[in-house]
């Protein structure tokens, strides 16, 4: 059976898993892991990709990212090729380093973002590499840089913390509590499909035939999310509007306000339009929280809060997205 193509589009949340060929070690020394992170950081500076979590083990890695205008395949090609070339030179070897095809799972961000951050950052703990009390100082997951900003960090730290609380120390405390809650959970997010999306085999078995939903092994999300992805693929992701300026114009028209008011005004009556703009720009047009926040004169944490409020508004008022992007 031929393998299925990747599903990718601007703003897609992707869980990436890469392994060494024949599951061999691809990070022999700590210097190798540092090199890998350096290459990732270099590519981030050239793209609008955002990273929410990462973990590096000796023979594999996890990255949770949101794609931007640079497609997933191109972004990962640059990273893996750049690392393999340097690795082969360091160790005087030739040939492939990674398995032919890294795994990418398209994920429902609204449902799985925080669970995946926890799953990935607990990876070395669950594997028995370290204990939970050492995780805060462990160099090879993104957990440490969420707890304390790191100069070499690659995670959109403020956005992640913004999902927990507006203020710094309170957000960090709630994030740590959430991580610890995952210690006893038996989670499997290394793929998509019915079982994982249902919350495990026991939950999938409970479902009656009439309650079964559409599923896809490449997608982590419920039937509604899979259906939306399929419909978008069928339409070629051809939204009527093509850029942020056009999006702002459509939102201004919907709310019957001036475009400049959405950008410059923080009045209560304009706030809803701004929240919808942040949500639509980050979810459908590959904008980062930082870039759309800069346009609106707000920080990454505030943009994260605005995005969540915008999401809730779009759930309650189902006609908004249909009016502004379809």
- CATH number, domain with residue 291: 1.10.1750.10
As a whole number of angstroms, the distance between CA 144 and CA 137 comes to 6
Q: Is there a contact between 86 and 35 (Cβ–Cβ < 8 Å)?
A: yes
Q: Is there a contact between 112 and 189 (Cβ–Cβ < 8 Å)?
A: yes
163 and 91 in a single domain? The answer is yes
Residue with tokens 């930082």: 290
Our count of domains for the chain comes to 3
106 and 165 in a single domain? The answer is yes
- Quick: pLDDT tens for 86-108: 999 999 999 899 987 899 999 99
Q: Is there a contact between 107 and 116 (Cβ–Cβ < 8 Å)?
A: yes
Under 8 Å CB-to-CB from 64, ≥6 apart: which residues?
13, 14, 15, 16, 51, 52, 53, 54, 107, 113, 116, 117, 120
Residue closest to 80 by CA, chosen among 53, 52, 101:
101
Domain that holds residue 175: 13-181
Residue 188 covered by a domain: no
53 and 127 in a single domain? The answer is yes
Residue 211 has pLDDT above 80, yes or no: no
CB atoms inside a 10 Å sphere around CB 164: 20
- Quick: pLDDT tens for 258-287: 888 898 877 777 899 999 999 888 877 777
- At residue 195, the pLDDT reads 56
As a whole number of angstroms, the distance between CA 55 and CA 141 comes to 4
141 and 208 in a single domain? The answer is no
| Average predicted confidence (pLDDT) for the chain | 86
The predicted model gives 209-222 an average pLDDT of 71
For residue 274, what are the β-bridge partners? Answer: none
Please give the residue that has the higher pLDDT: either 226 or 116.
Answer: 116
């Amino acid at each position: 059976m031929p393998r299925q193509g990747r599903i990718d589009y601007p703003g897609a949340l992707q869980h990436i898993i890469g392994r060494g060929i024949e599951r061999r070690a691809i990070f022999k020394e700590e210097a190798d892991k540092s090199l890998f992170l350096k290459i990732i950081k270099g590519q981030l500076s050239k793209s609008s990709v955002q990273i929410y979590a990462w973990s590096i083990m000796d023979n594999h890695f996890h990255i949770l990212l949101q794609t931007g205008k640079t497609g997933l395949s191109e972004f990962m090609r640059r990273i893996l090729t750049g690392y393999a070339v340097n690795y082969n030179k360091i160790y005087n070897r030739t040939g492939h380093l990674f398995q032919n095809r890294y795994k990418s799972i398209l994920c429902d961000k609204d449902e799985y973002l925080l669970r995946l951050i926890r799953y990935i950052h607990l990876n070395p703990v669950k594997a028995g590499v370290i204990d939970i009390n050492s995780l805060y100082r462990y160099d090879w997951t993104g957990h440490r840089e969420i707890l304390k900003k790191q100069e070499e960090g690659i995670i959109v730290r403020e956005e992640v913390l913004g999902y927990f609380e507006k203020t710094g120390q309170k957000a960090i405390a709630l994030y740590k509590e959430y991580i610890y809650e995952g210690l006893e959970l038996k989670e499997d997010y290394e793929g998509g499909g019915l079982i994982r999306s249902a919350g495990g085999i026991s939950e999938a078995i409970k479902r009656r035939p009439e309650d079964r939903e559409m599923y896809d092994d490449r997608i982590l999300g419920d039937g509604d999310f899979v259906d939306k992805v399929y419909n978008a693929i069928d339409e070629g992701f051809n939204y009527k509007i093509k850029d942020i300026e056009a999006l702002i114009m459509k939102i201004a028209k919907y709310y019957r306000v001036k475009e400049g008011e959405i950008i410059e005004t923080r009045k209560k009556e304009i706030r809803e339009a701004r929240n919808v703009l942040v949500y639509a720009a980050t979810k459908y047009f590959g904008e980062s929280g930082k870039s759309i926040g800069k346009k609106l004169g707000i920080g990454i944490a505030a943009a994260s809060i605005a995005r969540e409020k915008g999401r809730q508004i779009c759930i309650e008022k189902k006609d908004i997205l249909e009016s502004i992007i379809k």
